Amino acid sequence: MAKLAPPTTGMAQRLANWLAVLVFVAFLAVRFKGAHIYDLHKLVDNSANTGAYLSDYLHPDFTDGAHYVKAMWETLEIAIWGTFLSILLAVPISFLCSRNIAPLWVVQPMRGLIALLRAFPDIVLGTAFLVAVGLGPLAGVLALTLNNTGTLAKLFSEAVEAIETAPVEGVRATGGTRLHEIVWGVIPQVGPLWTSFALYRFESNARSATVLGLIGAGGIGQLLFDNLNSFAYQQVSAIALIIVVAVTLIDILSQQLRKRLI
């Protein structure tokens, strides 16, 4: 009777797994000092300061609540305009990025353009526009517009490339022009999905607009930053609560709208 071969493959796999674990552990050990893990004891040593800090956060000061709400509304206006302008730009660009609509020699450079727009973070674009137009909400609107144009154009073009061809061919068979094919054959198919993408980006923009306020682009983020620098944590807590409530309401509204559209 022939002897069975030893399970060398299984043993080699186990050795490889153990080697991978050892390499990972060794990496953590090497980076232990770089990440200052040895300072964890400060969580206990500084517990009194942490307690005082948290105490202020648990007692929000809404004395200037009306001012905070007004600033939050300005932040939402930045998000609304940034989303609206990006949609206006993204719709035509998305058709130029769709292989089933535009020729390849147009698609490739346009895809490169929207990739470039997505590559720059909002805060970098916001800093550039602060130099161009000065402090205020306009810099935030323009930063969100450029960044979201790249994102929405990519999402919109992918939706266009996934459409059914039958409605487009039907419009073509009736003698419709290229514009008629897009208006009557493409947009009705992608409209609900485009709206869902736009609502999602508006949710994201409401949060991004808050961050842009930290660099002077207006809105409630600027108040948040000023109070943080002043160590006014009770006011920071009140501002944070207003932001949470506003963003939560936007999320709920967007979800309800998306359910009705898709």
Residue 209: what pLDDT?
A: 86
**CB burial readout 61-71, b (16+ within 10 A) else e:** beeeeeebeeb
The CATH topology of domain 61-261 is: MetI-like fold (1.10.3720)
Q: Domain coordinates of the chain in residue numbers?
A: 61-261
> Which of 118-122, 174-178, 196-200, 258-262 is the least confident region?
258-262
Once rounded to an integer, what is the mean pLDDT over residues 20-36? Answer: 74
Question: CA 39 to CA 35: how far, in whole Å?
Answer: 9
Task: State residue 146 phi and psi, 5-degree precision.
Answer: -65, -50
Question: How many residues does this entry show for the chain?
Answer: 262
pLDDT number for residue 92: 92
pLDDT band at 152 (very low <50, low <70, confident <90, very high): very high
Residue 81: pLDDT band with limits 50, 70, 90: very high
Measured CA distances, 78 to 22, 88, 134, 209, 253 (Å): 50, 16, 15, 6, 18
> Which pLDDT does position 122 carry in this prediction?
84
* 217 close to 130: Cβ distance less than 8 angstroms: yes
C-alpha–C-alpha distance, residues 79 and 73, integer Å: 10
Looking at residues 122-134, what average pLDDT do you find?
87
Q: Is 215 helix (H, G, I), strand (E, B) or coil?
A: helix
How far from chain centre, in Å, is Cα 43?
A: 32
Average pLDDT over residues 140-161: 91
pLDDT of 32 reads 63
Distance CA 96, CA 118 (A): 17
Helices (H), the chain: 8-30, 42-45, 47-57, 65-96, 104-119, 122-133, 137-161, 166-173, 178-180, 187-212, 220-229, 233-261
Q: List, for residues 220-249, the tens digit of each pLDDT value.
A: 888 888 888 888 888 888 998 998 898 888
Give the C-alpha separation, 62 to 239, whole Å: 8
Give the least confident one: 58-62, 82-86, 241-245: 58-62
Dig out the tokens for 72 from the structure. 């939050």
Contacts of 61 (CB under 8 A, 6+ apart): 232, 234, 235, 237, 238
- List the single range of 16-25, 91-100, 113-122, 175-184 with lowest mean pLDDT: 175-184
Q: Give the CA distances from residue 124 to residues 59, 118, 138, 143, in Å, rounded to whole numbers and listed in that order.
A: 34, 12, 15, 8
Residue 10 has pLDDT above 90, yes or no: no
